[in-house]
A and B are shown apart, each in its own frame.
Chain A
């Protein structure tokens, strides 16, 4: 029994049950993160290796999905060109909430060595990013670690995504 006094009249009378729902929902969400099968450049090779038998993302409940409607993580693996930026954003918009984004590799983080007219200088210019993953290209272990960090992050946040203010780039 709770030793402290609980005010059952506040917060719709359900102060304890809500935190439990949060935990349950986040447990479910974080243990079945389904990334979009979406490779942009050489980082995608490492991403594919991560999904393969040797590194085996499946054991973490992570299975690549070929449709944005079924995915809830977008791994931007590689150089995003300006021509392709609108399509990347469209795929992100097509994903259902809740959704998270991992920016994989130097090119996706900052444009990397492609300091040119044709490369988006960091995908966070068009898509809100949760995890930045350094490396050129990052090893599959690094991607795996990023995914575990994302799981940690999901377990911390409220299950009600409307309260989350992270998607500051979302258009109303």
Chain B
């Protein structure tokens, strides 16, 4: 028999995990000698701490303090003229660190390089906006979503969330449906905090049926006036059916087929 697993809140979380599931790993290959990537690593020299090829992409781990230096080498010497994406991954629970990555593209060679570095919580990173203008918005988004400060950024300001927002939503510790600040944000902003009681908390379950809500729901078998208060129990009334439905077939002479 299959082991019983409690199925409370099955919609909220996945309770079934395959015992034989092994998360697939992308194979990491050595950098081949005399290839383009070998030249890149040669140009980087000691700046590269660790390097391998993953799905045709060179991944270079660097020290976070040398990121501008590395980008300068990659752009000026190796021809990586585009920074297509830059962001971070939250590994705070596992290692207490953020993993920052820069996706670079060399158009003439049709090659991509990912530069990866790690910073601790509260540490800042140097901006690469002076080299790649595309990093401007990416670094702002990283600041918005993770709270990672970027030094020497021309305009470090939240990009997606409102300026007066509290919290950084892409952190693993941030709840998916938002904290208290998030759940009251629009009410506080438009009406003021004193209107929280008037408007009430968010209904996160659209399928919820409130039996005492006579405004939005009608009661089956009970005739309740619109918007009447029935919180202390409603008056029970007998269900009245239309007389055409009250044909007694047990005493009727008709057989089942004839009825149809």
Contact = CB atoms under 8 A, between A and B. Distances in A.
Given A110-B206, A117-B176, A117-B178, A85 B190 contact: yes
Given A86-B186, A117-B175, A171-B191, A111 B206 contact: yes
B204 A83 contact: no
Interface in B180-226: 182-183, 185-187, 189-191, 198-199, 202-204, 206
A115 B204 contact: yes
A121 B206 CA distance: 9
Contact of B189 (A86, A111, A115): A86
A116 interface: yes
A126 to B, nearest CB: 6
B174 interface: yes
A84 B191 CA distance: 15
B171 to A, nearest CB: 11
B245 interface: no
Interface string A107-146: 0011110011110111001100000000000000000000
B177 interface: yes
A71 to B, nearest CB: 20
A89 B190 contact: yes
A56 to B, nearest CB: 33
B187 A126 contact: yes
Contact of A110 (B178, B186, B198, B203): B203
Nearest to B206: A110
Contact of A121 (B160, B165, B179, B204): B204
A116 B176 contact: yes
Nearest to A113: B206
B190 A117 contact: no
Chain B contact residues: helix, strand, loop or mixed? loop
Q: How large is the interface on A (under 10, 10 to 19, 20 to 34, 35 or more residues)?
A: 20 to 34
A148 B139 CA distance: 49
Chain A contact residues: helix, strand, loop or mixed? loop
A153 interface: no
Contacts of A111: 202, 204, 206
B228 interface: no
B190 A86 contact: yes
Contacts of A89: 190
A169 B200 CA distance: 12
Contacts of B198: 169
Nearest to B200: A125
A115 B11 CA distance: 13
Interface in B154-171: 160-162, 165, 169
A82 interface: yes
A116 B161 CA distance: 13
B159 to A, nearest CB: 11
Given A117-B174, A117-B175, A83 B187 contact: no
B162 A83 contact: yes
Contacts of A83: 160-162, 165
Contact of A122 (B177, B182, B203): B203
A120 B202 CA distance: 9
A126 B178 contact: no
A117 B182 contact: yes
A110 B216 CA distance: 14
Contact of A126 (B161, B162, B179, B186): B186
A116 B178 contact: yes
B32 to A, nearest CB: 44
Given A111-B206, A125-B202, A171-B191, A118 B169 contact: yes
Nearest to A112: B206
Contacts of B165: 83
Nearest to B185: A82
Interface of B: 160-162, 165, 169, 174-179, 182-183, 185-187, 189-191, 198-199, 202-204, 206
9 contacts: A82-B182, A83-B162, A85-B189, A109-B206, A112-B206, A115-B177, A116-B177, A118-B178, A169-B199
